[in-house]
A and B are shown apart, each in its own frame.
Chain A
């Protein structure tokens, strides 16, 4: 019934004002009251000050993306008011706690034109009254906001309890602040939300970051050691796994640098346990010599590469999918690798597990691409459907085997150091059967070919790209990584509209590239549109290299922002087809 209902609330202020916590609390509140949510965080690479925001989109159906425009703005700083006012939809509401600020002419006009309501919440009087400090002003505003939304305060209390990692005293203070905000008299309309979806009840859903799902997938896969050097957007994997270390018994080590992290992982993997490393572009650059070593020694390796815009330090806290080329071409020498990309919590959870199976079965490096939009956004889910069995490709009896012996598949027998009397050397110099060094031209050629043969088998186990929609129609969209979420939300939104007929082809397994399905499909569509969060259209380039196909239509975004719904609505000339909440007099 409310498939089309979508709304967005954004909390803005300065870094250090607890924007992230209250944003998450708002998402939980809305989920507990029966909505599907998506939480998107924007923040500068500083600890205090600047402008930071948390946006919660919510709907009667599952959603995984944000809209550019919002219906309710909650502003804790002056800068937030000026920044968020233009983002409000018609009939939008802005509540704030800023004592003095002045609007310029354009802003005043905008308020009039769009019929925006602005309310001041006197948080400082409330803070005095409840004997608290400034830090709770976000909670007071949350209370005022849920009152406006007619949401039960119990849901917000439960949400605060879930999100705030504080002792009982501080939590109680926040409850008081929430109540006070809730009771604050706003002489105003209420925002009328439709009754939430009744078919399935999302109240018991979980909300987690992409990074949580990556970590959980790793724990599930039997990863017993995690080595990492902090770098946004993967740092919270390290934090989360460290918080879980007693429960999981894992070794979680903040290494002295990324080279250390990846070498420790190689050491652990070589011995036969499972170790994971995660980093972002800069740290991955440092790891690439080791990637090359993994390839020649045939030690399995899995690296999570969380993308953010580069080059160099780039935009540390923003998003991009600009490192596909890096993942595919990094490391000196020629070797077989596998590159996959996650796009949401479900794919994060199961692709990490698959990555280890592929790395161990084929004895190759596997790079798992993610991007800040996936790593740090909060997704809603209920259960992880994929059940993945651990595959290790180890042999039990090594008596008659040679570690690097030639085989048809290129995969040689692998056993673990210490597990058999038969020893071998893992040699980063070119080597022959048992790992001893060789420079003999015939032996070198045979070994290179042996390792390269793995690609044939790899291509057999790699699935085709995922198809959403029919095999023919008006428009075929092609993408990978987090843009998938905006694309699918967009398709869901315009489904009833008969203007254009869309199909989406999603590349989860990117390298080696599967092209058969793509080549079949392009013939059946009037338009083929490449959508990527980078400048080059790197997947497009890869497809062109493999198939010769030249994308004529590309939607590329490279300003550090993810794709918002409006980006696609505008590109395909749709008006605002979402149903918005009503403001009641």
Chain B
């Protein structure tokens, strides 16, 4: 049995006091331990940002990649060895600006790994500039007269792509995050998990309490059906008054990337087990 402590590292956290990242880390450890996945059986892939500074504060095989590029890295890793559980983490800056194309195509491809979006509605590590999810009109570092662009609601974008798994959770609710992370890990395909994350330093307008007062789990709704995409799109829209969390949408029938590959149909081994010299004589002969 694996316990949570196995994931503890000797390194000290460097996040601000009350940062939402603490809760997210605690929950991911609990989810992994509860699923009895050992630190050596997981690959945790971190983007660059405040959340990414937690990459070496957790004991596991981990990667700290480039800003906005963690999704394709994780995809390549997940393809290479399915025996290792792959989880990627990114901020709203890296994911929804620098590398937004990767989010779109990862959902389309339905790679089999979990992606956790740390949405704190700003660029934390570069000291509080606006991100795509910052509310329009807010005065931010480098937008002193207020953010001019429209605000993006990431779940609307994600649902428009008909994902196989889309969930939302809140960095102030460890139990909820843990439960969502576990379901995301279990799901075969691209599991999109959006965490509404408080940022006590740069996001003063939607602090912990603000979210805590507004979030509700969709499972508390009468007749909520997580296989109903239209319903999911409806509840996802409100990010101001009543904010839906939980598994908003799930499509179990969608095949994950790997199972769609004709070339891998009857192959039982992993790509990492297949590096050896191959005989290409037959192929060469076709050119004679």
Contacts and interface: CB of A to CB of B under 8 A. Distances in A.
B61 interface: yes
Given A221-B277, A263-B65, A247 B283 contact: yes
Interface string A281-321: 00000000110010001000000000000000000000000
Contacts of A271: 43, 76-77, 80-81, 84, 271-272
A418 B41 contact: yes
A126 to B, nearest CB: 31
A222 B63 contact: no
A266 B283 contact: no
A428 B81 contact: no
A257 B76 contact: no
B61 A424 contact: yes
Contacts of B105: 255-256, 260
Contact of B285 (A206, A263, A274, A275): A206
A222 B274 contact: yes
Contacts of B285: 206
B221 interface: no
Contacts of B1: none
Contact of B56 (A266, A416, A427): A427
A256 B80 CA distance: 19
A392 B80 contact: no
Contacts of B53: 437
B189 interface: no
A536 B65 CA distance: 35
Interface string A208-219: 100010001001
A205 B288 contact: yes
Interface string A229-262: 0000000000000001111111110011101110
B278 A220 contact: yes
Q: How large is the interface on A (under 10, 10 to 19, 20 to 34, 35 or more residues)?
A: 35 or more
Contacts of A269: 76
Contacts of B78: 267
A225 interface: yes
A390 B81 contact: no
Contacts of B288: 204-206
The secondary structure that dominates the B interface is mixed
B39 interface: yes
The secondary structure that dominates the A interface is mixed
Interface string B261-288: 1111001001110111111100111011
Contacts of B80: 224-225, 267-268, 270-273, 275
A268 B66 contact: no
A289 B99 CA distance: 13
A290 to B, nearest CB: 7
A212 B284 CA distance: 9
Given A206-B285, A271-B81, A417-B61, A259 B277 contact: no
A428 B65 contact: yes
Given A207-B287, A267-B77, A272-B81, A390 B65 contact: no
Interface string A57-90: 0000000000000000000000000000000000
A244 B43 CA distance: 30
Residue of B76, B79, B275, B285 ringed by the most chain A CB atoms within 10 A: B76
Given A267-B80, A290-B66, A425-B63, A272 B275 contact: yes
A427 B276 CA distance: 28
B15 to A, nearest CB: 13
B69 interface: yes
A423 interface: yes
A249 B274 contact: yes
Interface in A414-453: 416-418, 420-429, 431, 435-437
Given A250-B263, A268-B271, A423 B39 contact: yes
Contacts of B39: 423
B271 A225 contact: yes
Contact of B280 (A219, A255, A263, A289): A219
B278 A423 contact: no
B162 interface: no
A495 B109 CA distance: 58
Interface in B33-58: 38-41, 43, 45, 48, 53, 55-56
A264 interface: yes
A487 interface: no
Contact of B76 (A220, A227, A293): A227
B276 A390 contact: yes
Contacts of A225: 76, 79-80, 271
B64 interface: yes
Contacts of B274: 222, 224, 249, 273
Contacts of B99: 259
Contacts of B77: 267-268, 270-271, 417
Contact of B66 (A220, A249, A428): A428
Residue of B40, B59, B65, B105 ringed by the most chain A CB atoms within 10 A: B65
Given A204-B288, A257-B101, A222 B278 contact: yes
B130 interface: no
Contacts of B102: 256, 260
B60 interface: yes
Interface of B: 11, 38-41, 43, 45, 48, 53, 55-56, 59-66, 69, 72-81, 83-84, 99, 101-102, 104-105, 261-264, 267, 270-272, 274-280, 283-285, 287-288
Given A268-B76, A384-B284, 7 more contacts: A206-B288, A212-B287, A263-B69, A267-B74, A271-B271, A272-B80, A272-B275
Top 6 closest A-B pairs, CB basis?
A: A267-B76, A264-B76, A263-B72, A206-B287, A267-B77, A271-B80
14 contacts: A216-B280, A250-B263, A263-B66, A266-B73, A267-B78, A270-B63, A271-B81, A273-B80, A390-B277, A392-B275, A417-B61, A417-B77, A425-B56, A428-B64
